[in-house]
Structure 1
Amino acid sequence: MRARLSLTAGALAAALSLVTAAAAAGPGSAPDHARNDLPSDLRRDPGSTPGSGPDLRAERGPAHTSDGQPGLLAPVLPRLLRQGAATSTDPVRSTVSPGVTLTRWDEADPRGAQRFSLLTVDPSVPGVSLDYAGPRRVSGTATLPTLLSPAYNGPGTVAGVNGDFFDIGDTGAPLGTGRDVERGVLHARLSGWTSSFAVDRQGRPWIGEVPLRASVKQRPGLRITNLNSPFVEPGGIGIYTAAWGTTSGYRVTSGQKRGVRMVLVRGGKVVRTRAKLPSGQPIRGVLLVGRGPGAKALGTLRKGARLDVTWGLQGGPRMAISGNKVLIREGLVEVVDDRVMHPRTAIGIDRDTGEVLVLVVDGRWTWSRGATMVELAATMADLGADEALNLDGGGSTTMITRGADGRLGVVNAPSDGSLRKVANGLQVRYRPPGG
């Protein structure tokens, strides 16, 4: 945990009052919650309302990518002053399972109070594993407890957090890359939204770019840009499979109706080609959707033509899930925004220990203001992360762990005041060796 030094008695007193107010809800309480319950912190603080920040009169910044909520702008204060006047409660640690630990603490500086929840996961411990947790179809959403339930993603879940940014106002599908250990590659893009957390075939975690690699054997010139994405890149060609769900019509072409085409491939042959996009129909086979030049290229295919469509991910990871920005790369902070505060979720890797660090920062509450991107990266670096990635935040920020009674419960305070339905999550499993 970070060491702090005081600069001025006045600044320290102000920070102490903030951290005392934040600590009133008690990060160490972390009771065992029934599935889908909100943490007692929310119920115990009736004076707070969803979306309330440290100062409702504060200047508003840009909206969060997924939920469109504007973030409060943090006061411009020298970093040395903020660090010197910062205070922290003693961390409260609990063992979730062998190899998985939960740590909670509060901090405060002249910008306001913050609450942190940290999962430390050691993938080298026998029985511990990380996986993608998603709904039954890519174009669907569910609350994190539902996604982590045995009915959706198998037994053995001991913890998890929300994952990728997603198309919250339309299809609900995630924006980036997703690979499940059991189900394989579910969604991906050739470019954009490819920054991901992944685990390789040897079980080693890494953070980097994980783009789609797709091709058509008989037509190597076809440019495949998307797999089960909320929309096809302009000029590109998207692949849609049964994992997507039912066809979404012109929603996947961003409303574009001219210069589009669909080609349905089944059993390695073209069985249908049309200039109109169907909606609400089951996908039986591989559906190719083109826009502009992509549609023109698809228009040269004829019914009955042989077509072998293949896809995978660069680097061949065993599992992968995207975020939007790399926070830390090879020990260096890569983000620059130190003004806009939101609830945040991040994942990082400590190369010295091999541990995976999963952090959530509560925000939009009077007792926890959220964090800027620079603050998030700095916290991850202080915790030991050599690489770190920003996952979806805002009202999506949710962390769940298994309690002493064996049930999964929420340990942070989602800013909506209720559990948001999200596109996917990161699943932490523990299965006793030989069990």
Structure 2
Amino acid sequence: MTKRAVPWTAPTAIDPLNSVVRLPGSKSMTARALVLAAISTGTSTLDNPLRARDTELMASGLRAMGVSISTVDDDRWVVRPRPLTGSAQVEVGAAGSVMRFLPPLAGLASGTVTFDGTARGRQRPLGPLVTGLRGLGVRLDASAADGLPLTVYGKGRVRGGEVAVDASPSSQLLSGLLLAAPDFDRGLTLTHTGPALPRAPHLRLTVEMLRAAGAAVDDTTPDSWRVEPARLAGRSWLIEPDLATIAPFLAAALVVGGRVTVPGWPRSTLQAGDRLRSVLTRMGGSFRLTEKGMTVRGGPQIRGIDVDLRDQAELSPVVAALAALADAPSTLHGLAHLRTQENDQVAALARELAALGAGVVEHEDGLVIEPRPLTGTVFETYDDHRMAHAAALLGLKVPGVVLSDVACTAKTLPGFPALWSAMAGAGS
């Protein structure tokens, strides 16, 4: 079924901001907690989970394999594991976490589980995961390109053992194997054989959540992880606010001036989004954490930056938008793996920023952005919520920026247009 695009004119802010923005839970933590709860021996609860397109797809996929997931109000999910079963079809859309976290669980199911997604989902890399699962004794069929559609012939157990893969396209390829590893007969010794991993903080989050669930994980050897077999006990998970989804709201203070406060900001976190503070500080913002939350204030101007975003790639569209409004050129490095996201995000950013009037030079691994006078036009979002965030951010300063489809923001934040408009003082 083809989704209907919802064009939306981004509001332009006239006055400095003075906003408090409350956001839902972390997508990364919600997804990992759901998977760990599914292989635990007792009931688990998720407080403040993200209820958005990607996490609903994850929950639906687990339900298709027999897991009970119920909702208590909007702020709690209750997960009751059951023996994983086959004869299931899982729709993954274009969600990388779903297509990479659930196939290892399907190996633990009794029966056949088939995965498929959108046209873009079929293009996203799964080869290392396919290689890893076959090396662990899982029988499966994949497309000619080792991607979707994917069929896993589960036997109710996975042998486990040692496997080596090149997960350089995405750390999710490792996280998917690690999250299921406690339920493998021999556990898992996993080695990454390729170049430096993108989004390494997400992998550290996986390891720490495994440990919090009771798994024994040895990561003392670089690029190698050992997970011992174990039966995990159900537990309560308190999901932190999503520090990546908050990125455009914090960056808005730099664009317009004034301040934006986010309640509930964790004093200690493994989320990659927390690194946005250092980037925005270098670009002219200032931060203060109090009992009321994290507050960012904008400076007199946005400063150009030379920055490597390999470990916080989800921040790249927001940083690129700020760079187009800065007082000097910026260079963004470490973006090569963004070419295999929901779209080729590097090319998309170059194309859309140039259409507004910015000077952009595209490299395989990044962008050089030269600020120039910008003029509003239609900004193609490519069914990518982060491209939509970048467009909305630019629209605060540039009248006439029209998002080709704002509905894609529901992937991580349903209600984004109303929240954004309220922050900008433009109503809903």
TMscore range, shorter length:
under 0.3
Question: If the length of structure 1 is used for normalisation, what is the TM-score?
Answer: 0.26
Structure number having the greater helix percentage: 2
Q: Bigger relative contact order, structure 1 or 2, given CA contacts below 8 A and separation 6+?
A: 1
Looking at CA atoms only, which structure, 1 or 2, has the larger radius of gyration?
A: 1
Structure number having the greater strand percentage: 1
